[in-house]
Amino acid sequence: MKLNYAHQRILITGASAGIGRDMARQLAAYGPKALILVARRREALEALKLELQEQYPTVAVYICAYDLSERQQIDALLRTVSREVGAVDILINNAGMGDYGLFENADWAKLEQMLRLNIEALTYLTYKLVPPMIALGRGAVLNISSGFGLLFMPGMSVYAASKHYVTAFTDALRGELRGTGVIVSQACPGPVATEFGEHSGTQGTIPAGLMMSSEACAREILDGLARGRALFIPGKLVSIGTNLGRLMPRPLLRLALRPMRRRLLKSESPRFEPVSVN
Residues within the interface to ligand NAP (CB under 6 A): 13-20, 39-41, 44, 67-69, 94-98, 117, 144, 146, 189, 191-192, 194-196, 199
For 224-250, give the DSSP string: HHHTT-SEE-SSHHHHHHHHHHHHS-H
Residue with smaller CB distance to ligand NAP, 208 or 252: 208
Residue 146 CB, nearest distance to ligand NAP (Å)?
4
Query: What are the backbone angles phi and psi of residue 142, rounded to the nearest 5°?
Result: -120, 120
- The distance of closest approach from Cβ of residue 255 to ligand NAP in the complex, given in angstroms and rounded to an integer, is 24
CB of 32 to ligand NAP, least distance (A): 19
Asked if residues 38 and 13 have their Cβ atoms less than 8 Å apart, the reply is yes
Q: Which of 5, 66, 100, 159 is catalytic?
A: 159
By beta-carbon proximity to ligand NAP, the closer residue of 139 and 197 is 197
- For residue 258, the SS3 value is coil
- By C-beta, is 67 or 220 nearer to ligand NAP? 67
- Residue 202 has φ and ψ, to the nearest 5°, of -90, -5
Query: Does the annotation count 33 as an active-site position?
Result: no
Given 5, 56, 66, 163, the catalytic residue: 163
- Tell me the Cα Rg of the chain: 19
159 as an active site residue: the answer is yes
Side chain identity at residue 247, one-letter code: L
262's CB contacts (< 8 A; 6+ apart) are: none
Residue 117 CB, shortest distance to ligand NAP, in Å, is: 5
Catalytically active residues, by annotation:
159, 163
